[in-house]
Amino acid sequence: MNKLSYCLIGDNRGKSVVNAEKGSLQLSGLYLWSRAFNQYGKCGTIEPYWRGEDLEEFDIVHVNYTPSNNQLPTIIKDELGTSSSTKLVVNVDLDIHYWGANWAYYLTNFIRDVKMADVLFHVEPHGAELIEHLIENKVNVNPHPVDVTNMYDYMNEENREPIIGTIFHRYFPNTVIPYAAQMNIPLRRVLFGFQPTGKNGIVANAGMFDQIIKYQHFNDYVKELAKCQMGCDLYEGYSYGRATIEFAGLGVPAVVSNTIGASNLFPQTSVDPYDVKGAQKLFKKLINDVEFCNEVIIEAHEGCKMYSLENSYKRFLEMLE
């Protein structure tokens, strides 16, 4: 396996991931690429670099393309020039639900920017297909890592509580849908990751849940999530689904939206996010059919290995070929 050096163009928020002690659990997602390269490649770091002399020190320079930094691919490509051996890798980090609001009048700029990449990827297939259509070139599907290997240590099967753990998404702060799916289920409803939104800084219908756990340190969140008898992630958009992967890593059976990329970990319990009757039937089956529940847990737990740091590093190298 090749040992490559990697730099994510970012700020100091990700430094804790890079410098984390080996074997410690870290927040899922984008910043974990640097740790994957640190552990399995030559080195991985997160820096605010953009000058050619700094960028040339790395085999890979990775830009997480967002509406707020859309100038970066062009700047970095200009700095590297046409003869550099450093690969510019760009991923588009925005749910396609929001493209119209962010790029409605600048889509030509978007197309120009992402074409600067030597390698381009999106974390879930719908976004990748759309970009492929726009630029008429290959776009890889490469979900961000989740540290499932270290997450196994948090599994808590013997001390599960009668809880459905529901994931709150600040981009889609709709708690009506998951509540409707759980209405007649004889378990406590706990809402995870709540972040106040709206005019008054609240979500009025959040009161439908028995307990609300606000956004917290990742390790504390994982410890609480591991207590759940089952999980619920009925996200209404298109994401790669780190929370869904976390359920799988913890051995928690979950009912999840089929718009989530990682819903393939739960093929028997993924539904249209608005199919609340279908979701409710699945919750009941998970409670009443022990054999079915165990099948769901085993399939998801086995499948989530592909998101580990080591396998994510291998996926990244395959994408470069």
pLDDT for 28-71, tens place per residue? 999 999 999 999 999 999 999 889 999 999 999 999 998 888 88
pLDDT tier at 172 (50, 70, 90 boundaries)? confident
Residue 199 scores a pLDDT above 70:
no
Asked whether this chain's domains 5-145+309-320 and 148-306 adopt the same fold, the reply is yes
Average pLDDT over residues 227-256: 97
Q: May I ask the CATH class of domain 5-145+309-320?
A: alpha beta
Q: Is the model more confident about 202 or about 234?
A: 234
272, 300 contact by CB (below 8 A): no
pLDDT above 70 covers what percent of the chain?
92
User: How many Å from the N-terminal Cα to the C-terminal Cα in the chain?
Assistant: 12
Whole-prediction pTM? 0.93
Residue 75 scores a pLDDT above 70:
yes
Distances (CA, A) of 131 to 25, 55, 312: 33, 26, 22
Residue 221 confidence (pLDDT): 95
Q: Is the model more confident about 159 or about 279?
A: 279
Q: What is the CA radius of gyration of the chain?
A: 20
What percent of the chain is helix, strand and coil (3-state, nearest 5)?
Answer: 45, 20, 40
Domain 148-306, CATH: 3.40.50.2000
Residue 43 confidence (pLDDT): 95
Give the domain ranges of the chain.
5-145+309-320, 148-306
45, 17 contact by CB (below 8 A): no
Mean pLDDT of the chain: 91
